[in-house]
Amino acid sequence: AQSVTQLDSQVPVFEEAPVELRCNYSSSVSVYLFWYVQYPNQGLQLLLKYLSGSTLVKGINGFEAEFNKSQTSFHLRKPSVHISDTAEYFCAVRVRGSNYKLTFGKGTLLTVNP
Amino acid sequence: DVKVTQSSRYLVKRTGEKVFLECVQDMDHENMFWYRQDPGLGLRLIYFSYDVKMKEKGDIPEGYSVSREKKERFSLILESASTNQTSMYLCASEGGARYGNQPQHFGDGTRLSIL
């Protein structure tokens, strides 16, 4: 079975600073990888996904993530954050061609301070 | 844009009540999901459905059941509510082929309190 570890439960940063949210997964087979964002009192929205091809994936709101197969990681980055990026971020993994189960990490709360 | 609508944003019920949470999607998606979200635990899958009248147990199905009589609607039922079912409940839908490469689209959630 696959699993996801988000290494930081909370990440505080100052506005305009760069940020990296870390995600590691374990799976014995090939996977699809996703990052979702949850703003306060809302559901989850897709930020970006890795299916195949280029290991650097660009998403919405200036976020990008890099798939590293050898390190089984899919870290999320943004070069300069805004106050409005304050939210909880979830990494998720799904085995390719699998029976629909998406496994989520426990989330990282990003707080951007002025 | 895909729209997933959950019938209530906030709900307060009493222990032992039968509780219905409703979810409707407008994109003719085959797959629908119910999760619960608790602080520090992330999202945990309760049940999912990949077709009308079909259902599969997720990771934490105990105390819950589901119903999918129409493609666009997926209901979560708490047969006899207990205080440990106080949580945020999220519904999601997903379209496309059964290859797992489509994103899930989420509703805004129902915050359920059992007193």
DSSP secondary structure of A39-74: -TTS-EEEEEEE-SS-SEEE-GGG-EEEEETTTTEE
Q: Give the pLDDT mean for A107-114.
A: 96
CA distance B2 to A102: 19
Taking an 8 Å cut-off on Cβ atoms, the answer to whether B48 and A94 are in contact is no
CA-based nearest residue in chain B for residue A9: B40
List the single residue in A43, A98, A107 with the smallest CB-CB distance to B107. A43
Average predicted confidence (pLDDT) for chain A: 92
Whole-number pLDDT of residue B99: 60
A108-113 vs A10-14, strand pairing mode? parallel
Which residues of chain B lie closer than 8 angstroms to A107, CB-CB?
42
pLDDT value at position A41? 85
List, for residues A94-110, the tens digit of each pLDDT value.
Answer: 888 766 688 999 999 99
Which residue from B minimizes the CA distance to A33? B101
Pairwise pLDDT comparison (A90 vs A1), residue with the higher score: A90
Does the distance separating the beta carbons of B45 and A102 come in below 8 Å?
yes
Indicate yes or no: CB of B101 within 8 angstroms of CB of A32.
yes
At B109 the pLDDT is 95
Measured between beta carbons, which residues in chain B are less than 8 angstroms from residue A87?
none
Query: How many beta-carbon pairs under 8 angstroms link A with B?
Result: 60
Q: Does A109 touch chain B (CB under 8 A)?
A: no
Write out the two tokens for A1.
Answer: 């079975």
A95 in B contact zone (CB under 8 Å): yes
Q: How confident is the model at residue B38, as a pLDDT?
A: 93
Least confident interval from A60-69, A76-85, B98-107 = B98-107
pLDDT of residue A99: 61
What is the percentage of chain A residues whose pLDDT exceeds 70? 97
**Mean pLDDT split into 10-residue runs, chain B, 115 residues:** 89 97 93 93 92 91 96 96 97 77 90 97
pLDDT of A23 higher than 70: yes
pLDDT band at A29 (very low <50, low <70, confident <90, very high): confident
